[in-house]
Amino acid sequence: MMSRSIEGSTQSEETLSTMENGMETLDANMLLFSVKGMTCGSCAAHIERAVREVPGVVDVSVDRPTNQVRIKTSSDTGQADIFVRAIALAGYVAKRVAP
């Protein structure tokens, strides 16, 4: 897999790099979820819209091939359950996979 430098890169390049490496390094304001039922790009867009509606969301990255959603929040609020519910209301099952 190709590795990219994060320094000076955009958020999307950072996301791609961590997804390519198969490991996610999360800071205190990031949450990672596994999502069941996401089968297409439309599903991914639907999940992204649902998550973005939650107050405090700074960035959302949905990776359909791995069925993962990475969420960056404005503060360390420990609100994983809020995102599980938001994704459930969109019609999918989410489980937090990283602290």
Q: How far is CA 95 from the centre of its chain?
A: 11
CATH of the domain at 90: 3.30.70.100
pLDDT winner (highest mean) among 2-6, 47-51, 72-76: 47-51
In the chain, the amino acid numbered 34 is S
Q: In sequence order, what are the residues at sequence separation of 6 or more whose Cβ sits closer than 8 angstroms to the Cβ of residue 89?
A: 50
In a domain, 31, yes or no: yes
The predicted pLDDT at position 14 comes to 47
What mean pLDDT value characterizes the chain? 79
How large is the average pLDDT for residues 78-92?
Answer: 93
The predicted pLDDT at position 13 comes to 44
Q: pLDDT digits over 29-46, tens only?
A: 899 999 999 999 999 999
User: How many separate domains does the chain show?
Assistant: 1
In a domain, 86, yes or no: yes
In a domain, 36, yes or no: yes
What distance, in Å, lies between the first and last C-alpha atoms of the chain?
A: 25
In a domain, 64, yes or no: yes
Beta bridge partners of 95: 34
In a domain, 65, yes or no: yes
Helices (H), 2-98: 11-21, 41-52, 80-89
Range of the domain at 35: 27-98
